[in-house]
């Protein structure tokens, strides 16, 4: 049984929420086409910013971001506790274009409102992009066993790498760089 990659973030409703959401979506979608990744990062940033601007927040405020990668698409939902939703943008205003971007760039999108407001969008993946494995997993599958074992061990600990090359994967976490290479002849001990 194959499970789809999922990401769930509950962010404090403060100005850093959009930054954290962008960083996490970029990491979560490592291995997808770079243009698709950039579009996903932009759209999630717009939706989190909309939540911060338009929701009614209390002392324990939050913004929830969930993402799923399936063989055919990436689905992202941004939820907040507010009942307000942005009106149509003022074409002469400086901001307010987030939902227009979502409408133009996503394959589908919608809004669900009850006690919370949930805005979701889906981006279709080109054939072969979402076949159940991310690009880095596809690359590693062609490596000799020692390199494959090392890459998978690092991936289990750190998630998807930031850099995916045919012969090397690179993870950057908290100022430390982790590298797995195709030609790895032995694995490093962890723990």
How far apart (Å, rounded) are the C-alpha atoms in residues 25 and 8? 10
What does the pLDDT read at residue 57?
66
31 dihedral zone (left: phi>0; alpha: psi -120 to 50; beta): left
The whole-number pLDDT of residue 133 equals 58
**Domains plus CATH for the chain?**
6-124 (3.30.565.10), 135-181 (no CATH)
How many Å is the Cα radius of gyration of the chain?
Answer: 19
Residue 190: its pLDDT value, please?
Answer: 47
Q: What is the pTM of this model?
A: 0.63
Tens-binned pLDDT, residue by residue, of the chain (191 aa):
445 678 899 998 888 999 999 999 998 888 888 899 999 999 999 999 888 887 666 667 889 999 998 888 899 999 988 765 555 555 555 556 678 888 899 999 998 877 788 899 999 988 655 545 566 777 787 788 888 888 888 888 888 888 877 788 888 887 888 888 887 544 445 44
Neighbours of 149 (CB within 10 A): 16
97's tokens: 């274009």
Q: How far apart are CA 69 and CA 59, in angstroms?
A: 33
With beta carbons less than 8 A apart as the criterion, state whether 135 and 170 touch: no
The predicted structure's pLDDT at residue 161:
82
């Amino acid at each position: 049984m194959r499970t789809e990659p999922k990401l769930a973030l509950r962010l404090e409703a403060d100005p850093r929420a959009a930054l954290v959401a962008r960083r996490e979506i970029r990491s979560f979608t490592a291995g997808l086409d770079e243009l698709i990744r950039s579009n996903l990062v932009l759209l999630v940033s717009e939706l989190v910013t909309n939540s911060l601007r338009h929701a009614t927040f209390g002392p324990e405020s939050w913004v929830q971001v969930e993402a799923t990668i399936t063989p055919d698409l990436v689905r992202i939902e941004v939820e907040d506790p507010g009942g307000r939703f942005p009106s149509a943008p003022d074409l002469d205003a400086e901001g307010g274009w987030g939902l227009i971007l979502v409408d133009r760039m996503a394959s589908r999108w919608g809004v669900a409102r009850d006690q919370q407001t949930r805005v979701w969008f889906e981006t279709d993946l080109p054939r072969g992009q979402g076949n159940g494995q991310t690009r880095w997993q596809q690359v590693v599958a062609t490596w000799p066993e020692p390199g494959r074992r090392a890459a998978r061990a690092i991936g289990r600990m750190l998630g998807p790498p930031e850099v995916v090359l045919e012969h090397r994967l690179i993870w950057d976490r908290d100022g430390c760089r982790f590298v797995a290479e195709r030609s790895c002849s032995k694995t490093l001990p962890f723990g």
